[in-house]
Amino acid sequence: MLTIKQAQKKVDNWIKDHGVRYFNELTNMAILTEEVGEVARIISRQYGEQSFKKKESDKELADELADVMFVIICLANQTGVDLTKAFEKNMEKKTKRDDKRHKENKKLKV
């Protein structure tokens, strides 16, 4: 099983071996937005009310989510963010903040 730390190292190695260098942070932010848009397009067609165009039918959600993850890792690497620590801290924050909030939300009751 690949850890987040290993994924960050794997992306860094890939950039060094195949990518020449990281795109700058603004370019990567634009790429991330584009990739999230591709995820949204698939979700809206696969789970929403829109239909696929003929040339879109070969797009896979898993591949597009992996593209998003790749760019997020690039941004983390080039800005010095340890995603493992950031994720653990974020989960602690959510747990404290939302401990009972969702369970008590009447809109979520079945």
Instruction: Answer whether residue 88 is part of any domain.
Output: no
Print the domain residue range for 27.
4-81
Number of domains in the chain: 1
Task: Give me the DSSP letters along 4-73.
Answer: HHHHHHHHHHHHHHHSSSPPPHHHHHHHHHHHHHHHHHHHHHHTSS----GGGTT--HHHHHHHHHHHHH
25 has pLDDT over 90: yes
Instruction: Say how far apart CA 26 and CA 90 lie, in whole Å.
Output: 24
Domain assignment of residue 60, yes or no? yes
Distance CA 98, CA 93 (A): 8
Domain presence at residue 32: yes
Within-domain flag for 103:
no
pTM of the entire predicted model: 0.88
CATH classification at residue 10: 1.10.287.1080
Note the pLDDT tens digit of each residue in 54-105: 777 678 999 999 999 999 999 999 999 999 999 999 999 999 998 888 888 9
Measured CA to CA, the distance from residue 64 to residue 103 in angstroms comes to: 31
Q: How confident is the model at residue 11 (pLDDT cuts 50, 70, 90)?
A: very high
Q: Is position 23 within any domain?
A: yes
* 73 in a structural domain: yes
Residue 90 lies in a domain: no
